[in-house]
């Protein structure tokens, strides 16, 4: 079987997770494993997807290998899924599974996210392995990895896979039209609306417009797509002591002076690919530079997505 390991960890060959895939590769010379450091190559695939398309087309089984980052998959994997969908490469009928390492904090959410996206692509999804960071160093962890692989091969041989979720019924797209008049604002509070709307996302822009009109305070809109991120979090822990990120794109300064300085945060985004656009994931992961410090403790936060804003405004 041609197994393509999509190593979405930003650490490439130093990834903890990919070592489980390498362990399985060593045990199974009867299969052809190709291991690609897609997490590290994401910028090059943005420029030219052809080399990855070629590998994807050759594979019988895609094995996503990645760490859980900030409650779900790392930015690099979110971006990869966007690129795969945008390219339109036909993956239907291929098998897909996944290996993660984490501290099991929202690993279930990450697995569901990958499963649902693979189902969107018409793939046959086999449940993955969620290992702890150091499981591969233990006898039991190694046994679990071997059992996972045996079951995976059995599932591929016998055509056993997850039942894809029912498709949502097609609905006509309606664009929310702003209805609220502008009112006078007080400067008592500074509210920042953090969004990632695309220029063509009129729906979300109009909803934000009405939200701001209803708000008694002055508000600012920060669109994450406009921030020149040098890349996703590298998981290097360089920030752990100093709170300074190794990237030179000044995101940590932007976070502290433009966002964390506000009296309240509102996140406004449109759901896509079972999350929202990857720009938001980049923002979320890069907040690791807070170094697990409770920097915004007590600040009110709201996160109405496009659907909720629309419901609230219609009902209100
Ligand atoms: C930015 C960042 C965010 C993380 N978020 C989570 C998380 O939400 N849940 C969790 O269980 N572990 C989390 N972890 C721990 C990683 O999942 C864990 O260290 C993983 O084994 C790293 O795998 P890798 O070496 O293959 O990249 C996070 C680590 C980093 C660096």
- Segment 127-143, tens digit of pLDDT: 999 999 999 999 999 99
Contact 239, 293 (CB under 8 A): no
Residue from 38, 74, 103, 291 whose mutation best tests the ligand 1 pocket (most atoms within 8 A of CB): 103
pLDDT attached to residue 171? 87
186-315: CATH, from 3.40.50.360, 2.40.30.10, 2.60.40.3670, 3.30.300.30 = 3.40.50.360
Query: In 151-258, at which residue ranges do the beta strands (DSSP E only) sit?
Result: 186-195, 217-223
Q: Which two tokens stand for residue 177?
A: 């039209």
Mean pLDDT value across the chain = 94
Closest protein CA for atom 18 of ligand 1: 102
Task: In whole angstroms, give the CA distance from residue 215 to residue 225.
Answer: 24
Asked if 2-158 and 186-315 have one fold, the answer is yes
> Residue 108: exposed, middle, or buried by beta-carbon count in 10 A (0-12, 13-18, 19+)?
exposed
pLDDT digits (tens, 9 = 90+) for 73-120: 999 999 999 999 999 999 999 999 999 999 999 999 999 999 999 999
Residue 62's H or E segment, with its range, is strand 61-67
Is pLDDT above 80 for 312?
A: no
pTM of the model: 0.95
How close is the Cα of 100 to the center of ligand 1, in Å? 9
Architecture, CATH, for domain 2-158: 3-Layer(aba) Sandwich (3.40)
Is pLDDT above 90 for 241?
A: no
How close is the Cα of 76 to the center of ligand 1, in Å? 13
3-state secondary structure of 268: strand
Q: How many CB atoms lie within 10 A of CB 265?
A: 18
Domain segments of the chain as ranges = 2-158, 186-315
Confidence of residue 43 (pLDDT cuts 50, 70, 90): very high
Lowest mean pLDDT among 24-33, 170-179, 304-313: 304-313
pLDDT attached to residue 305? 58
Closest protein CA for atom 6 of ligand 1: 69
Ligand 1 atom nearest residue 285's Cα: 1
């Amino acid at each position: 079987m041609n197994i393509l390991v999509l190593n979405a960890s930003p650490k490439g060959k130093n990834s903890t997770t990919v070592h489980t895939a390498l362990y399985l590769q060593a045990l199974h010379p009867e299969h052809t494993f190709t291991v690609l450091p897609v997490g590290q190559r994401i910028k090059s695939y943005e420029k030219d997807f052809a080399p990855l398309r070629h590998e994807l087309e050759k594979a019988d089984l895609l094995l996503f290998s990645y760490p859980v980052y900030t409650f779900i998959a790392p930015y690099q994997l979110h971006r990869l899924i966007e690129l795969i969908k945008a390219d339109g490469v036909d993956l239907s009928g291929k098998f897909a599974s996944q290996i993660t390492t984490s501290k099991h904090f929202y690993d279930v959410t990450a697995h569901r996210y990958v499963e649902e996206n693979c189902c969107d692509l018409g793939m046959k999804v086999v449940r993955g392995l969620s290992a702890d960071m150091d499981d591969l160093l233990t006898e039991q962890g190694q046994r679990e990895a071997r059992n996972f692989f045996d079951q995976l091969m059995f599932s591929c041989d016998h055509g056993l896979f997850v039942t894809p979720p029912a498709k949502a019924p097609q609905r006509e797209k309606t664009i929310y039209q702003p209805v609220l008049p502008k009112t006078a604002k007080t400067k008592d509070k500074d509210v920042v609306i953090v969004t990632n709307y695309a220029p063509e996302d009129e729906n979300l822009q109009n909803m934000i417009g009405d939200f701001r009109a209803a708000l008694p305070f002055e508000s600012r809109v920060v669109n994450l797509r406009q921030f020149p991120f040098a890349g996703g979090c590298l998981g290097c822990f360089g920030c752990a002591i100093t709170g300074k990120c190794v990237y030179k794109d000044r995101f940590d300064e932007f976070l502290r002076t433009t966002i964390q300085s506000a009296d309240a945060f509102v996140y406004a985004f449109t759901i896509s690919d079972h999350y929202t656009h990857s720009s938001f994931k980049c923002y979320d992961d890069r907040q690791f530079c807070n170094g697990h410090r409770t920097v915004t403790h007590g600040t009110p936060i709201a996160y109405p997505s496009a659907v909720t804003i629309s419901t609230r405004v219609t009902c209100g």
